[in-house]
Structure formats: C-alpha cells, structure tokens
Structure 1
Amino acid sequence: MNALTLALLFAVAIATTACSTTEQRVGGAAVGAGTGAAVGGPVGAVVGGAAGAVTAPTVVRETRRATR
C-alpha cells in the first residue's frame, strides 16, 4: 500500500467512527461521491465522498430543524 491510500483509509475510519449515525454518513458519502464523479471524475468522487460523509449529519440536523 502506498502512503496516500493508507492516509485515505485512516481519514475515512476517523470520519465514520466520530459520526452520530452511520446511515447519515453513508448516505452523504454516496451523494457526494456521485456528484464529485460527475463534476471531477475519479478524484472528484473521492473528494466529494469525503466531503459528503463529513457534512451529512449537519445537513440532516439543519433540515430537520427547518421543517419543524
């Protein structure tokens, strides 16, 4: 394994263990990866997936708060 792959796996492990719900992280990562792949190809998919996994709980929380 090269260092970049190992660092990416470590970052994903940290992001998923610090989450409130795994379903929110997985859903956010999937949406982010799909959007990133459409915009930036393989690199965009990785970046979009990471960004989606990190921001998903905040987006869900704010959406629920706004719809009450």
Structure 2
Amino acid sequence: MKRLTYVLVLIAFFTLTACGTTTGSRTGSGAAMGAAGGALIGSMSGNAGRGALIGAGAGAVGGYLHDQHRKGNID
C-alpha cells in the first residue's frame, strides 16, 4: 500500500508540475508539487521537512524556467 501511494504521488507530480498560464502560477504550482515530491522522498530517508524545502526550491525554479521557455525567452 505504501508503494502505491508513492507511485500515485509521483504520477501527480509529473502531471501537475508547472500548470498555469502566468509566471506566478507556473512557479507556484512547480513549488507546490516539488514540495510534495520532496517530502515524499525525504520521508523515505527520515527527513521529510528538508526534502520538502529542497523540492519546493527545485520545483519553483523548474516552473519558472518552464514559463520562460513557453514564452520564448529561453531556447
């Protein structure tokens, strides 16, 4: 059951990352999904809080870069 939960969270993570139409919404959704994925991975190593912080940062950067790419500012 625990493994199924991890798989479902990861599927949601990849499906919903950087959703939105504005820079703020794409960055925010990337940060939220990154935090969820990071907490999940961090909980496996015993530190969900640190994983969530790292995941949120990585997700926010990813969402921002995705937004800039969609706008044509990054190749």
- TM over 0.5, shorter chain: yes
**Number of matched pairs:** 46
Q: Percent identity?
A: 36
Higher helix share: 1
What is the TM-score normalised by the length of structure 1? 0.55
Gaps of 5+ in 1: 1-19, 64-68
Aligned with 1:26 (options 7, 28, 52)? 28
Give ranges in structure 2 of 5+ residues lacking alignment.
1-21, 43-47, 71-75
Output the CA distance in 2 between the equivalents of 1:21 and 1:38. 26
TM-score where L is the length of structure 2? 0.51
* Kept in 1: contact 2:32–2:56 (CA 8 A): yes
Q: CA RMSD in A?
A: 2.3
